[in-house]
Amino acid sequence: MPASDLNGPTLEKEIGGTTYKITSVYSKNATETAVEKMRRLILKDADKVLKKLR
């Protein structure tokens, strides 16, 4: 994604001498919240891990 498309809120955080720049970008047509999406992704990955352990 080109930097020109990153027009959302930005946060800069220094951790261990490295500065991280985080920009939030979202779709106006989104059908789920960020929290719902994160939960879905975490549960999907957890399900994959559990299936590998069986």
pLDDT at 8: 78
pLDDT at 6: 58
pTM attached to this predicted model = 0.51
Q: Which of 49, 1, 46 is nearest to 26 (CA)?
A: 1
Q: pLDDT for 2-37, tens place per residue? A: 655 657 789 999 999 999 998 888 788 889 988 999
pLDDT at 20: 96
pLDDT at 32: 93
Show me where the domains of the chain are located: 3-53
pLDDT at 46: 95
Mean per-residue pLDDT for 30-48? Answer: 93
SS3 9: coil
